[in-house]
Amino acid sequence: MLKNSMLNYNIAIDGPAGAGKSTVARIVANKLNYLYIDSGAMYRALTWRLLKDSICFEDEAKLTSELENINVEFRLDNAGESRVFCNGEDVTEEIRKPEVSRNVSEVAAKKPVRSRMVWLQREMAQRGRVVMDGRDIGTVVMPETSNKFYLTADVLERARRRFLELRLKGHVTTLSEVQREIELRDKIDSEREVGPLRKAADAICIDTTGLCPEEVAEIIIGYCGRRAPD
């Protein structure tokens, strides 16, 4: 059983694309009655908006100006599931389309984008009792939390998961194409100048290959219970 004092602490979950961060983070948040914040969805929503408005990613002045006019928020639907809204429009499904996936790492690497999103994420985390997943949550957004986790998995396994997810949603693609895109995202995310994908020194690394999301969630909750202060 978790110690009562643990209930005021945030949980950071990082890792590469397809490692299962979002699904696991959502399960952990539900089990602990925490607020789940999908930081990746915030970057995806911004990317979707830029693509919709045909904004050139390299035009930093236009990009910075556009950021001031974009609001991303999370709302619960009638079933208690989190939905993503961009400027009042429900974009939960739109932001998972392949076109957004192909471009989100490039957008997320831009300094104005990182600065704006990190500021918003820190504002959300200040309330406590937050589970947040992403690429730089434990290293940049919430480095002070003692509950840091880094999820990883074999690249073929990550590609298989994403391929099945896309196929269920009716997107036509191939496993090899999805694997290439994931490998490219890994490269961009790891080599970007601002907020690169990196395991925090004090994060617990969990290889999710062969594990179901519920199993990974229980591992995380178990670690959080042991790390809770007296």
| CATH code for the domain in which residue 159 is found | 3.40.50.300
Residue 2 pLDDT greater than 70, yes or no: no
Q: What single letter denotes the amino acid at residue 149?
A: F
Residue 6 pLDDT greater than 50, yes or no: no
Whether residue 230 is contained in a domain is answered as no
> Degrees (nearest 5) of the Cα angle 201, 207, 213?
115
More confident residue, 223 or 193: 223
The distance from CA 109 to its chain's CA centroid, rounded to whole angstroms, is 14
Residues 6+ apart with CB under 8 A from 230: 3, 5
Whether residue 123 is contained in a domain is answered as yes
What tens digit of pLDDT does each residue of 195-221 get?
788 999 999 999 999 999 999 999 999
What tens digit of pLDDT does each residue of 23-37 get?
999 999 999 988 888
Residue 131 pLDDT greater than 90, yes or no: yes
Whether residue 106 is contained in a domain is answered as yes
- pLDDT grade, residue 230 (50/70/90)? very low
Q: Among 14, 13, 15, which residue's Cα sits nearest to residue 153?
A: 15
pTM of the model: 0.80
Mean pLDDT of the chain: 88
The distance from CA 12 to its chain's CA centroid, rounded to whole angstroms, is 10
Least confident of 51-55, 79-83, 121-125: 79-83
Residue 3 pLDDT greater than 70, yes or no: no
Mean pLDDT of 92-110: 90
Give dist(CA 192, CA 147) in Å, integer: 25
Mean pLDDT of 130-159: 94
Please provide the distance, in angstroms rounded to a whole number, between the alpha carbons at the two ends of the chain: 13
Whether residue 35 is contained in a domain is answered as yes
Whether residue 2 is contained in a domain is answered as no
Whether residue 207 is contained in a domain is answered as yes
Q: Which pLDDT does position 4 carry in this prediction?
A: 44
- Percent of the chain at pLDDT above 70? 94
Query: Three-class SS of residue 193?
Result: coil
Query: Three-class SS of residue 78?
Result: coil
Q: Which pLDDT does position 8 carry in this prediction?
A: 55
The single residue listed with the structure tokens 């789940």 is: 36
More confident residue, 23 or 229: 23
Into how many domains does the chain fold? 1
Q: Among 158, 157, 165, 161, which residue's Cα sits nearest to residue 97?
A: 165
Whether residue 79 is contained in a domain is answered as yes
Whether residue 36 is contained in a domain is answered as yes
Mean pLDDT of 11-31: 93
Domain that holds residue 54: 10-224
Least confident of 17-31, 70-84, 170-184: 70-84
